[in-house]
Amino acid sequence: MRAVWKLLILPIRRMPVGCTLVIFVWLSGILIMALTGKAAIIIAVGVASWAWYMLVGMTLRTLMRPETLLLPDLHRHLSVAGLIYAVFTIVLPVVLMVAGGSAAYALLAASLLLLAMAVGTSIGLGMRISLMFWLLAIFASWKPKLAAVAGHAVMASAWSPLLITLLAGLLLYFALHPLLVVNDRDIDESPLQAIADGRKPATNADGTPRRMGLIGKKLAPLLDGTAQRSLTAALSRFDNNRNYSSRIAVVRAVLLPHDNPQAIGLNLLLATVIAVLYFSLTNAAHRWQVGYLGAYAVIFSMARFAAVGRGMLQMRPNFADLYMTLAPDTHRTFQATLADTLLWLVGAAVFNCLAYAVLIALLLHDAHPAQLLLATGITGIATAFSSLAVHLVGPQSKGGRMLAQFALMAGAMGAYALVYWLIGRFGLPLGAIIGVAITLPFGIGGWREARKIYLQRIPVFDAPLS
């Protein structure tokens, strides 16, 4: 029983803040249902259960390793822990619902809670099941009357609980079965590299390759091809002219293989196709404000830097080989090479930010595109420099990096809102000049100070402890 108890509290030990918030919401819902008998509160309980199982899935993803599967009675302990979770998140809310006088919907509620368990676990384990709900939301906004009729039919059908239960069972099987089978690991990616179809790092926190979706698996060979061509061109340039810039190009092709111009254009093309399909199918252009979407473009572009802080830690042992290969005269020269290599990400982020702004202006038929482009461009430059500076010399702990990322996102949204308002209030020339004077010195100055700090540090080649 001790092993089961450790499995039960493992998500709380791994993610105490998130688990505490989820448990608080779940307990509040259970108490309200027990004291007032309001069955509608089960919706909040179901949302809390879904969030809890997302955290459980994240925990399982880091727990299930080939060596872990050799532990005695592991499958039995996992089954018992899962049953205990199900009693609290499915049986208890349904019992309170029946006690409150809503027995007619008990079976449907139980099946939906089981589906929340399956979907949350699947998302936590890295499955792209959330894409299905995104497609359902698009369909509901495209055909709202048909979606309403389908929803009423699901609620009224006697077969719905059985079908939903079968769907939940299939999701759990496809999510959990790969974890319980000992297979070879996928090919390791650079921790500095972003995954092909998103802004997430290509590796998990423990260094294992992150599971890619269907789009990522299709894009990976294309991106690898662009990386190989970029490396070949960089080596040829270095052979012809062995200067500092050509050396930086070779190091960049090695450390940031999928951040070459061809790969950036390919990812931008994919984003364009998805955006055009979304606005075409949902007819949602009139629901969005151009100014708000500009802030999303800035945050979407700066999310790439999240892989830098963690990737620089995980790459320490590999930097020893790079150090011996480059044979720098001083430690400062090696640190400068790394810092200048990562500076390429600033230009890539600003380009993506402006490209997204142009796409937004075209899809939403913006009457004043210059205001949007200038606001996103100015803010994009400032936030890109700030993000690189923070993730290069900022906190090294997981929690510290997360807080720093949230602070950067909040600052980016505030800076964008200020620059957008200044341009709208004082006009294009004066408003843009004021925005540049406020944001760019802060971003560029922060990067210059961070670079000085980084150059003074002695290279460390030991693997991080966590």
> Of 160, 180, 200, at which residue does a domain stop?
180
132-151 pLDDT, tens digit each: 766 676 667 667 777 778 77
User: Quick count: other Cβ atoms within 10 Å of Cβ 200?
Assistant: 16
Q: Return the pLDDT at 182.
A: 66
Q: Provide block-wise average pLDDT over 10 residues at a time, the chain (466 residues).
A: 85 87 90 84 88 89 78 85 90 87 83 89 76 68 75 78 88 82 59 47 48 63 85 89 87 86 87 80 67 85 81 83 86 91 91 90 82 91 92 80 86 91 88 92 92 90 70
In a domain? residue 198: no
Are 272 and 147 part of one and the same domain? Answer: no
Q: How many Å separate Cα 271 from the centre of its chain?
A: 15
pLDDT of residue 128: 66
- Residue 152: its pLDDT value, please? 77
- Tell me, what's the pLDDT at 164? 87
Picking from 122, 156, 180, the residue at the C-terminal end of a domain is: 180
Domain presence at residue 208: no
The verdict on residue 90 lying in a domain is: yes
pLDDT of residue 364: 83
Rounded to the nearest 10°, the torsion over CA 444, 449, 451, 455 is: 160
Would you state the pLDDT for residue 206?
46
Q: How far apart are CA 463 and CA 146, in angstroms?
A: 56
**Residues 307, 367: one domain?**
yes
Indicate if 366 and 429 belong to the same structural domain.
Answer: yes
169 and 237 belong to one structural domain: no
CA distance 415 to 405: 15
Task: Please state, rounded to an integer, the average pLDDT across all residues of the chain.
Answer: 82
Closest CA to 370 of 361, 359, 379: 361
Q: How far is CA 108 from CA 167, 184, 356, in A?
A: 13, 40, 43
In a domain, 461, yes or no: no
CB atoms within 10 A of CB 173: 10
CA dist., res. 399 & res. 405, Å (int): 10
Per-residue tokens: 306: 């999240």
How do residues 188-223 score in pLDDT, each as one tens digit? Answer: 556 665 533 344 444 444 444 455 555 666 777 888
C-alpha torsion angle, residues 408, 413, 414, 418 (rounded to 10): 140
The candidate with the shortest Cα–Cα distance to 271, out of 320, 212, 219, 322, is: 219
Pair (242, 319) in one structural domain: yes
Based on the domain organization, do 245 and 160 belong to the same domain?
no
Same domain, 422 and 364: yes
- Smallest CA-to-CA distance from 91 within 69, 109, 67 is with 109
Query: Model-level pTM?
Result: 0.69
Could you tell me which residues come within 8 angstroms of residue 217 by beta carbon, excluding any fewer than 6 positions away?
none
Residue 109 placed within a domain: yes
Asked if 123 and 220 sit in the same domain, the reply is no
Cβ of 110: how many Cβ atoms within 10 Å? 20
Specify the pLDDT at position 177: 82
Q: What is the pLDDT of residue 207?
A: 46
pLDDT at res. 199: 42
Q: Assess whether 165 and 300 both reside in one domain.
A: no
* Residue 59 included in any domain: yes
Quote the pLDDT of residue 196: 35
Query: For residues 85 and 168, what is the distance between their CA atoms, to the nearest angstrom?
Result: 15
The pLDDT, as a whole number, for residue 201 is 45
The pLDDT value recorded for residue 202 is 46
Residue 188 included in any domain = no
Q: What is the rounded distance in angstroms from the CA atom of residue 166 to the CA atom of residue 75?
A: 22
pLDDT, position 200: 45
Q: Are residues 233 and 382 in the same domain?
A: yes
Closest by Cα among 211, 351, 376 to 298: 376
Give the pLDDT confidence score for residue 276 in this predicted structure.
Answer: 81
Question: What's the pLDDT at 211?
Answer: 53
Let me know if residue 137 belongs to a domain. yes
Residues 106 and 242 in one domain: no
Domain residues for the domain of 325 are 214-456
Please give the tally of structural domains in the chain: 2
Q: Is 234 exposed, middle or buried (0-12, 13-18, 19+ CB in 10 A)?
A: buried
Q: Are residues 166 and 244 in the same domain?
A: no
Q: Which residue has the tokens 């955006």?
A: 275
pLDDT digit string (tens) for 2-42?
888 888 888 888 888 888 999 999 999 889 888 887 878 88
User: Bridge partners of 201?
Assistant: 194
Domain limit, last residue, from 126, 154, 180: 180
Could you tell me the two tokens for 270? 């994919």
